[in-house]
Amino acid sequence: MVGRFHLPSAVCPPSVFGETPSGRVWQELEALNRPGAQSFMTHNPHRGGRNWSVASAFRPMFVRLPGAFSTFGPPSQRLRRERGRKLRPSPPSVRLRSSTWASLVYGRRATSPRHLCTFGDKTCAAFVIADAQGGRSWQVRRVLSLGRHLLRKLGRAKAESPKPQSARDDQLPPVPSVAELRSLGMEAESETAKSRDEFAFALLAVDKAGSRELRQAAMTVLEQIDAGAWLALDVTARKGWWFAPAWSYALRSRLAECEATPLTLVLASFHPDGHIREAAVARMGELNDAVVASALALRCADWVDQVRARARLVVEQRLADPTGAALVAIGSIGTAMKARRQGTWLAELIQQQLRTGSDAKLATALKAGDWRVRRLAYAAAIERSRIGPPALLDAAMHDSDLPIRTRAAEAAVHLALAQDAFPELALLLASRTALVRAEAVDALGKAGDPKPAIAAIADPSALVRGTAQAVLRRSGASPADHYRPLVLANPPPPNALAGLGETGDNSDIAVLTRSLQHPLAKGRAAAVCALRMLGAATPDRVAHLLEDTSAAVTRQVAKALVGHSKELDRAFLERLVQLTRPRHVRVAGYRLLSPTTGGGTHEAA
């Protein structure tokens, strides 16, 4: 009880509205033209009898709502005072004129009958708003107000800040065209400071002097940029406001009078003044837009408690959407700013929503365009067994994110082992990801099918080759016996040469030595690597390849001869480091002459 008023048990933050759970409002009389027609009653279990309406008993200085009626009892002496002056309560039968209250947010409706309570200089309230035609049908919609405390702060900050001489004080670039704005948005994703600064200044110029179509195009561009560009815009736009003092000065009035456009609210959420950011968050709470949702997600990690609390309240309401559309819009920002000091809250909330949310919300997140959201969605779906083998196989084959492909392949193999559904895993053998192919080869080998391992014995990936070799050994076969027929081809496949070096013996040195003349640089490098693994890469066999035209070959030769550098001709090595030689040849020569590799010191000629 505060001033004989029943308040919600939860303490509302400054200038944030809450609900009285037990308040129920109904109209007592239907006729609107006789005494008592505007009387309202409330049922309050903590107070007996009827509580007469005092909608006009006290009126906050800045909150004006059409058809909004308070349902509390008579105000106490303390609540009748506002800024040192007494307010005269109206009788319960006095009809309230709709012009007494102006709409706080245009076209918005309250969730349920709301209550207004003002004590001290804080406003903690919830409202009921009738429709514009004066009807009695209530529409579900939460209303967040700035509150008297914040509005007073905005007015005080405006009064204390020096008024610019004219709008010409703003040092903003010319208003760009739609094509230029789209180009700047694409360049802002390139992670260069200059492009992001230009994009932020262009948005401010569009907000100040752009047409309605240009502002809408700016919102479209903001919807298309990635999370990294949003995080950078949060910093660069804050810098840009210092170059627009006149526009920043007018921003306070626009926020207080509900005249700000969605683009203005988004840019105001980047303002260096915390009161402006808090007011922008409150106004954006009434807009259902993907760009606004991204801006609200950024403010969930704001360094000011009041701004952060408001944004988190709105974001929690948005994430309750069962379709998952809001989660996708907010999730990319929330996961990208996880490294910020206050950024873990939103990331953890998104993970919780994915784990405990509906199947529709999870399905929407699995198809999100941002890879961060998809990673969390697949992790939650696999952890809770809420995704089937077909979806896992499709993700393992076609998803653009490597960790998702590997995680999906591992989960598909695990399900196949548990359900004995191995034929479906054959699709993974054609994956472009080496780890996915290796998982499929290993799973099919455990199922008793060595044919995929034999087909993958010459895979370009050493991981897949190693897995195939292990499967063949478990089946009792020798992997080298499968490589030897392959290297007899003219020219031999480079991958087969590498595999023979991994599994062969001294009897294979001759064929590998002949392959040092391979027409392909990849084949020569594979032959040198195979000889090194067999311990046969001696200077007399491979030293001449230090002058090869391919850097890949010289790297493999230098790596093989590091332990034999003292056996090499020093004059030959010094000729390799002459400035007239190609860079990769000089690098190989310096490596063999370096004292750390046993080549001694090099004295320039």
Domain boundaries, the chain: 1-145, 155-395, 396-463, 478-537, 544-605
With 0-12 CB in 10 A as exposed, 13-18 as middle and 19+ as buried, what is 286?
A: buried
pLDDT at residue 147 in the model: 60
Q: Which two tokens stand for residue 581?
A: 């030689």
Q: What is the spatial distance between Cα 443 and Cα 416, in angstroms, rounded to a whole number?
A: 8
pLDDT at residue 378 in the model: 95
- The DSSP string of 401-438 is -HHHHHHHHHHHHHHHHHHT--GGGGGGGG-S-HHHHH
Q: Which two tokens stand for residue 365?
A: 């997140």
Q: What is the spatial distance between Cα 121 and Cα 249, in angstroms, rounded to a whole number?
A: 24
Peptide bond into 491 cis (omega under 30): yes
pLDDT at residue 247 in the model: 77
Dihedral of alpha carbons 111, 121, 39, 97, sign: negative
Which of 99, 159, 120, 141 shows the shortest CA–CA distance to 14? 120
pLDDT at residue 599 in the model: 54
Q: What is the spatial distance between Cα 56 and Cα 87, in angstroms, rounded to a whole number?
A: 9
With 0-12 CB in 10 A as exposed, 13-18 as middle and 19+ as buried, what is 111?
A: middle
Q: What is the spatial distance between Cα 563 and Cα 547, in angstroms, rounded to a whole number?
A: 19
pLDDT at residue 420 in the model: 76
The label of the residue with tokens 């992670």 reads 191
Q: Are 439 and 409 in contact (CB under 8 A)?
A: yes
Stated pTM of the model: 0.65
Alpha-carbon distances of 411 from 148, 244, 352, 564, rounded to whole Å: 55, 54, 21, 47
pLDDT at residue 157 in the model: 58
Q: Which two tokens stand for residue 262?
A: 């969605």
Q: Are 497 and 517 in contact (CB under 8 A)?
A: no
The number of residues making up the chain comes to 605
Half-sphere exposure of 153 (CA within 13 A, CB side): 17
The label of the residue with tokens 């003092």 reads 245
Strands 85-86 and 81-82 turn out to be antiparallel
pLDDT at residue 156 in the model: 60
pLDDT at residue 597 in the model: 56
pLDDT at residue 479 in the model: 93
Q: Which two tokens stand for residue 222?
A: 């903001």
Q: Are 446 and 467 in contact (CB under 8 A)?
A: no
Q: What is the spatial distance between Cα 245 and Cα 342, in angstroms, rounded to a whole number?
A: 29
- Number of helices (H) and strands (E) in the chain: give both, helices first: 27, 6
85 forms beta bridges with 82
**Average confidence (pLDDT) per 10 residues, the chain, 605 residues:** 41 38 33 34 37 33 36 41 40 33 32 34 34 34 52 61 57 85 85 83 86 90 89 85 77 76 90 88 87 92 91 90 87 88 90 90 91 93 90 91 92 85 82 91 89 92 94 92 92 93 92 94 95 92 93 94 85 91 94 69 39
Half-sphere exposure of 343 (CA within 13 A, CB side): 14
CB within 8 A of 544, min separation 6: which ones? Answer: none
3-state secondary structure of 392: helix
The label of the residue with tokens 């890469």 reads 537
Which of 467, 355, 336, 460 shows the shortest CA–CA distance to 409? 467
In this structure, the number of other CB atoms found within 10 A of the CB of residue 313 comes to: 21
Q: What is the spatial distance between Cα 532 and Cα 6, in angstroms, rounded to a whole number?
A: 84
pLDDT at residue 449 in the model: 87
Our CA dihedral for 74, 78, 84, 87, rounded to 10 degrees, sits at 10
Residue 566 per-residue DSSP state: G
- The DSSP string of 34-51 is STTTT-EEE--TTS-S--
Which of 531, 522, 573, 527 shows the shortest CA–CA distance to 550? 522
Phi-psi region of 11 (alpha: psi -120 to 50; beta: other; left: phi over 0): beta
pLDDT at residue 232 in the model: 87
Note the CATH number of domain 155-395: 1.25.10
CA angle, residues 139, 145, 147, in degrees to nearest 5: 145
pLDDT at residue 237 in the model: 85
CB within 8 A of 214, min separation 6: which ones? Answer: 175, 177, 178, 181, 206
Q: Are 315 and 330 in contact (CB under 8 A)?
A: yes
